[in-house]
Amino acid sequence: MQIIHAVEHRRHAGRVEMNAGRLVPCFETPQRVEIVLRHVDDAKLGPIVAPRDFGLAPLERVHDPLYLSFLATAHSEWRATHGDCDALPFSWPVPGLNRIRPAAIEGRLGYYSFAADTPITGGTWSAARHGAWCALTGAEALTAGERLVFSLSRPPGHHAARALFGGYCFLNNAAIAAQYLRDGGAARVAVLDVDYHHGNGTQEIFYDRADVLYVSLHSDPVMEFPFFLGHADEIGAGPGEGFNLNLPLPRGTGWPDYSAALTTALTRIRDFGADALILSFGADTFRGDPISRFLLDHNDFSRMGAAIGAIGLPTLVVLEGGYAVEDLGINTVNLLSAMQQ
């Protein structure tokens, strides 16, 4: 197994996020990746390599070029007016308002976001690019014959839509990798998302397509972020109808019910006939996660990994959420070790 890691992820270190009406220290921190890196290294799961620079072209296959330009300059524009502090959105073009792209950076922060939990810092654009290149380097390794690759991407990505950031995500690493595999000749790619929160961005990107199947197990958005996508009746549109499967689960879900939903998800992926699998792996389904409410234990991640590995597809695992930081390393190693067997 190759493990792809970029030290540049450390450059994105937000100070505060808006959570439940308060500005609090960010849950999504550089320490998350450092802990996982230490655990996978100690477990000797495979060589750790740096990503290569893919430029912007593969990112533009998924994201709006104007959005990418915004990310590249947002903090410098913000700093020119507000000083060296994190940039956070605070006004959004909700239904009933005109969706006009503002000239002011304060307006464009809202135009290109859907949540106030995701600060942009001076190093965000560099970290996000390198996180996407980690996923692309992993996808490239699959095309070269690797069967299992772990891309230690950070910031996470599955909430990032074609031209929206939020939920700690700026670039959709899993979607960028899936598109790269399609462009490289894979006829069908499946994305399995096991993060606690629904990957609204990945769904949006592939919702009207039949060549990329998106399957997600997540907490019911009636009660949990991102609230406005992730319901069971969202099955795709146009050519993509039937190629989007959401399996929302209630708060307090433990392994027996989670396992049943995972079996449903894997059956759908087998039936799809995918050439490769992208696993959006969030370990915030762990019972000790500070912002999530599932009840999976350490050994359940081994069970999850064994079940996913058993379908036998070349698989790229891309890191998403997980905020019980010490346990994130344990749960990641348990998943990957079981997938290797």
* Exposure string over 315-325, b if 16+ CB within 10 A, otherwise e: bbbbbbbbbbb
| Phi, then psi, of 136 in degrees rounded to 5 | -65, -40
- Write down the catalytic residue from 159, 197, 198, 218: 159
**End-to-end CA separation in angstroms for the chain:** 11
Query: Taking a C-beta distance cutoff of 8 angstroms, is the pair 241, 226 a contact?
Result: no
Query: What Cα–Cα distance (Å) separates residue 24 from each residue in 27, 28, 117?
Result: 8, 11, 10
Which residues lie closer than 8 Å to 324 by C-beta, 6 or more apart? 283, 284, 286, 288, 289, 290
Q: In the 8-state DSSP scheme, what is residue 224?
A: S
Cα Rg for the chain, rounded, in angstroms? Answer: 18
Measured CA to CA, the distance from residue 90 to residue 236 in angstroms comes to 31
Q: Is residue 39 flagged as an active site residue?
A: no
Classified as helix, coil or strand, 128 is helix
**Cβ atoms within 10 Å of 244's Cβ, excluding its own:** 21
Q: Give the catalytic positions in this structure.
A: 159
